[in-house]
Chains A and B, each alone.
Chain A
Amino acid sequence: MQWLITFGPDICFADLSAMLAACDVAPPAEAHLIPFDDGSATVEITATEEQAACLKGQTGLQIFPSSEMSPY
């Protein structure tokens, strides 16, 4: 499944990569980070439900689904 991970400005990309690795999730390319104007950032990853549950236990990470959309 695809997920969007959002994290605050107190977490750098190296920290994020380590947190992902702790849940056996491959890190994305740093260039794919999308910043927000409050200093946080988000990035899309691929992870199983179990890996997502593991990531939800990591302090400072928020996980949202990246759900399918349809043309109207």
Chain B
Amino acid sequence: MPGLHVLIEIEDDNAGALEAFSEATKSSAEAERQASRILADIGGEGIEFEEGFTPVPMFSAPEAPLPEGFALEMSPGEAKRRPTGQTVVLPAEVSRSRLDDLQSRDGVKVWPNSALTLYGHDAAIDDARSDGGVDCRPFRDPVEIDTIRAMLAVDALWDDGFRGQNIVVGILDEGVSGQHYPVIGGFARPEAGLQPGSAAVTSHGSMCAADVLVAAPAARLYDYPFLGIPRSGGAIQMFQAVLDQWNTDGTPQITNNSYGFVGIPDPAQFPDHEVNNINHPVHRKVREVVTAGVACFFAAGNCGENCPSGNCHPSGIGPGLSIHASNSLEEVITVAAVNSRHERVGYSSQGPGRFEQVKPDVASYTHFLGNYGPGRPAGTAVSAFDSGTSAATPVAAGVAAALLSAIPTSTPLQIKDALISSAIDIGSTVGWDPNHGHGVINAAAALAALERSGALVG
């Protein structure tokens, strides 16, 4: 049963809560009996209790102080009475169809049950969570690439030799420097100003290239410099080139798309604009590319409500307005941005999406020293560090490349499902939310999810 890992808290007045817990810790059969009794109260269908876990009694209501005398009652030795448990918490895997039902029930509260990271790594200082936190100007300092790699847990793939080898990522952007990054092909019309690999290292496309390599250093790149023609007409040509290449030799397996629109034209006046018409040719071509087998990662955009980029039009800022056009297509993987503290960067665009409402799909990391920064290939003349949902998206594409090097037969849908189902749930609600999607991607967890889906490794 594919589902969300949650903690279910249920009202369960019990004067013998501590004793019950104690008994359950000694006997898995007793733990299971207790869990079954609790789940029976809310109907067990679509809910799977996590085996080996003992239901935990809670002695105070959420956001309420502990009962007076609680410390004394809980102290060891000669306490005269034990407190009454008010609720009980148990971890479970819940199907999406049951989640809304559970969250709407009186006496039931559903909490995130997110993955934790061991604090043994150098990056531990950045593992702190900040649920609902927002990073706005002046932003927190950027971190090193190694910190991002640790947050992504790429070691779990790299240790087994999966570093993105044999995978090609197409960068649809304003061009990539082939002198600094492993561009092995791509497409441009002979008369176009930019040819594959000819862009400066300071280009936006070169940043995207650097950021693919964060998780997939052995991946190779195709350069599709369509932003030399910065319109959908240029994009559709590049997507067709992707499709032609894919039909020839099965590459690129992934495209990165860190661009889009920054406002919503009046639908009455411009009904066929890319933002308003899902049947615009560029969207149809994107769907063809994904259906053919190429995973397409799209940036959510930089028009979040807290600190939108300066080029955002007021019509396209904030929740429900800022993810539109191809990045709101159901078929693509739409990426929001967080910093290394799991705080949403305040410019990261917010769902619901204009076409498919459940957007963004996931969040990924931005604000690190990748292409830009002191000692980095592009230095600090253009930017002090890699930023934007533009940087977060190729990080996610690189994770997908590493996954594909482990399981080359994975389909775009399998990759998307694995990233979503294994994402670290942050924010104040369980499951998807319009700021972070289903949560922050994690390479190790995503590989485990792919393996569980039945795909063969290597």
Contact = CB atoms under 8 A, between A and B. Distances in A.
A7 to B, nearest CB: 11
B390 interface: yes
Across the A-B interface, the 5 shortest Cβ-Cβ residue pairs: A66-B233, A44-B233, A72-B390, A72-B299, A71-B204
Interface of B: 173-174, 204, 227, 230-237, 240, 258-262, 270, 272-274, 277, 280-282, 284-285, 288, 299, 301-302, 311, 388-390, 393
Contact of B258 (A2, A64, A71): A71
A71 B272 contact: no
A59 to B, nearest CB: 17
A4 interface: yes
A4 B281 contact: yes
19 contacts: A4-B236, A4-B282, A34-B236, A34-B237, A34-B281, A34-B285, A44-B237, A64-B232, A65-B232, A65-B272, A67-B231, A67-B274, A70-B230, A71-B227, A71-B258, A71-B259, A72-B388, A72-B389, A72-B390
Most buried by A among B173, B204, B236: B236
Contacts of B174: 71
A70 B234 CA distance: 12
A70 B261 contact: yes
A34 to B, nearest CB: 5
Most buried by B among A67, A68, A69: A69
Interface in A13-72: 32, 34-37, 42, 44, 63-72
Most buried by A among B235, B240, B258: B240
Contacts of A42: 236, 281
Contacts of A6: 281
Contact of B240 (A34, A65, A66): A34
B260 A69 contact: yes
A1 to B, nearest CB: 10
Contact of A4 (B204, B233, B262, B389): B233
Contacts of A44: 233, 236-237
Contact of B259 (A3, A36, A69): A69
A4 B231 CA distance: 10
Contacts of B302: 72
Nearest to B207: A71
Contacts of A68: 230-231
A44 B261 CA distance: 19
Most buried by A among B270, B280, B390: B280
Contacts of B280: 4, 64
Contacts of A67: 231-232, 261, 273-274
A70 B288 contact: no
B237 A69 contact: no
